Amino acid sequence: MSKQQLSRREFLRLSALAAAGATVAHWGLADAYAASQPMDALTRQAPLAEPVTLDVVHDAPEYDNPYRQIFDLFEDENPGVKINLLSHSEDGQPAYAAKIAGGYCPAMETLSAIYNQTRITAENYQNYVDLSTIDYPYWDLITFDAKNSWTEMYGLPGPRMLSPFLGWVNTWCYHVDLMEKAGLDPRKNVKTWDDLLLWLDEGTKWAKSPDSGVEYFWDQGWLPDWFGTSITMDHIPLAFPDGQRDRQVACWTGQVKFNAPDSPYRHVFEFFKMAYDKGWIPRQFWTREWETDMEATYSAKKAAVQLHGPWIWDKAVATDATAQQLGFPSTPPAEGQTQWMQWISDLEIDSSPSALAFVIRSCNEQSPNYPLVKQLFIWWHSPDIVRLRSEALGAVPAMKIDPPPDIKAPQYLGIVKEIDTPGGLYENVKYEVRPSGESVMAAKRIPGSPGVWDYESGNNAKYWADLMEGKITVQEVLDMAQKNWEISYQLD
């Protein structure tokens, strides 16, 4: 092969051409992108004089279709206004955070668009508009004090987010045909905590039999926040007399130690340790992926049971439209506990565990379109639209709406409508609606600290794994929790 040498001049010429080409291409793309964005203050155009595009960003892509249909109504009512609906899921959150840091200013977004566990705190509240200033007329229709709760918690002007919905519910759910095949009827036979343990045991034995056709009775995967937030940590103790919400909160406020002999949180770890030792949940479940392993097996009917929220019900139906599912409240009372309590996620006051809470970023206040942004926000949270959102997503509104929404979501029909409802199958089961300890203490959290369960960094997988494998004890886990609490919260 003959040797050809590239001279320095040629090399530089080629490099410059390449860089110039890339730059021109970037500018071209940037121009096209900028043209699709809402006008900023520098253009100083009068609202509605020309077509206006407002960006709405949310972090639940599965809601794109219903949201799009609802926002079409706003466009119909407001000619000349276009709603640009954008969404991403958890893996898109960091890119979105960088975009916001770069100056992007959507008209409206979900609080969790940047990060699932975002809370509105003293460090970041100025990023969001004080919603008490936007003349929202429906505060009195919301069934909790959405207008003042955040201010009372943090002592700062607000509120800064709004979600007129009740929390989501985490229950047992199962495939009806598989349960019949197993010869089990939990709705009939599970009334106490011991009944629950027996049901899990018998179900697991059936699942392991050759003719069951399933791989698991109860498949359980791993998510750091699932095993670190109220979802599980405040959930399981509700079966026990010393595990009720007031004692949970007492731990978080420092009145009771997390590692006390009668700590409410002891029950969480003891239950899962027992479940693991008895084979009710998969080996090394902390390595099972949430969607591709756990949810996939349930949707494909390779697992009979899940302890989950509304999404798995929807996914099972999406996989098989004929799937019949039912459920029952997750924590039947143990000995000494008289009232059957059902966990429900916290009302959304400073955080949004459900991707339903929306905020207006404060950069909008400098935009000439700000009146329109406020109008959009008020419209999105008006009773008629909340009804539509409720029916579309299966979320129960925390708003007096007449007529009430006609919810057809699988989980609602399969169990939620039966709980704490006159005439329902579980009318005597009560939702635990008092705020969780983590919510009560949110204003006192030291930024950057691990938090009691150290889930935000995902480090909880280690101690859960060590506990399950017998490398540490329940007491050692609770000792760690107490220590984490002491370095994570400032009581003054």
Partner 1 sequence: MVAIPLFRTLQQRRVAEDVVLLAPQLLLYVGLTLLPFLVALPMLFTNQTNFQHTHPDYIGFENFTRIFTDPIVSREYVDALRRTVVFTVLNYLMVYVFGLSLALLIYEVGFQSAFFTVVYLPMMASALAVGWMADMLFSQSTGTINLILKELGFQRLVDINQPSGVAIILPILTGWRWAGFNMAIFLSGLLSIPTETIEASIVDGASYWQRLVKIYFPQMVPSFIIATVFCLIGSFGIFDEAIALGALIGNQEARFLAILFFIYAFTGNKLALSVTMALQTFVPLVVVAVLLQRLQRRLEYH
CB of 335 to partner 1, least distance (A): 34
**Which residues touch 289 (CB under 8 Å, ≥6 apart)?**
221, 222
**Ranges of H-type helices in 344-409:** 370-380, 383-393
Q: Applying CB under 8 A, does 284 fall inside the site for partner 1?
A: yes
CB of 183 to partner 1, least distance (A): 25
Q: Applying CB under 8 A, does 103 fall inside the site for partner 1?
A: no
- Supply 262's token pair: 């009668």
DSSP conformation class of 11? H
CB of 1 to partner 1, least distance (A): 6
Q: Applying CB under 8 A, does 39 fall inside the site for partner 1?
A: no
Place of tokens 């925390």: 398
Q: Applying CB under 8 A, does 20 fall inside the site for partner 1?
A: yes
Beta carbons of 223 and 115 less than 8 angstroms apart = no
Cα dist. 13→6, 7, 8, 35, 270 in Å? 11, 10, 8, 33, 70
Q: Residue 172 and residue 304: Cα distance in Å, rounded?
A: 10
- Supply 157's token pair: 């002007």
Q: How many residues does the chain have?
A: 492
The correct pick among 50, 64, 75, 90 for binding partner 1 (CB under 8 A) is 90
Which of 335, 300, 286, 295 lies closest to 469, judged by CA? 286
Question: According to CB under 8 A, which residues from 329 to 388 bind partner 1?
Answer: none
Q: Applying CB under 8 A, does 15 fall inside the site for partner 1?
A: yes
Q: Applying CB under 8 A, does 447 fall inside the site for partner 1?
A: yes
Q: Which is nearer to partner 1, 97 or 378 (CB)?
A: 97
- Supply 248's token pair: 């949970």
Q: Applying CB under 8 A, does 12 fall inside the site for partner 1?
A: yes
Q: Applying CB under 8 A, does 42 fall inside the site for partner 1?
A: no
Q: Applying CB under 8 A, does 448 fall inside the site for partner 1?
A: yes
Q: Residue 261 and residue 258: Cα distance in Å, rounded?
A: 9
Q: Which is nearer to partner 1, 128 or 252 (CB)?
A: 128
**Which residues touch 106 (CB under 8 Å, ≥6 apart)?**
54, 55, 56, 57, 86, 361
Q: Applying CB under 8 A, does 485 fall inside the site for partner 1?
A: no
Q: Applying CB under 8 A, does 144 fall inside the site for partner 1?
A: no
Q: Applying CB under 8 A, does 287 fall inside the site for partner 1?
A: yes
Question: According to CB under 8 A, which residues from 407 to 446 bind partner 1?
Answer: none
Q: Residue 492 and residue 175: Cα distance in Å, rounded?
A: 50
Mode of pairing for the β-strands spanning 216-218 and 81-87: unpaired
Query: Binding mask 188-217 vs partner 1 (x if CB under 8 A, - otherwise)?
Result: ---------------------------x--
Q: Applying CB under 8 A, does 459 fall inside the site for partner 1?
A: yes
Beta carbons of 301 and 175 less than 8 angstroms apart = yes
Q: Applying CB under 8 A, does 91 fall inside the site for partner 1?
A: yes
Q: Applying CB under 8 A, does 289 fall inside the site for partner 1?
A: yes
- Supply 160's token pair: 């800064």
CB of 13 to partner 1, least distance (A): 5
Chain contacts with partner 1 (rule: CB under 8 A): 1, 8-9, 12-13, 15-16, 18-20, 22-23, 90-91, 93-94, 97-98, 100-101, 114-115, 117, 123-124, 126-127, 215, 222-224, 284, 286-290, 292-294, 296-297, 302, 447-448, 450, 456-459, 461-462
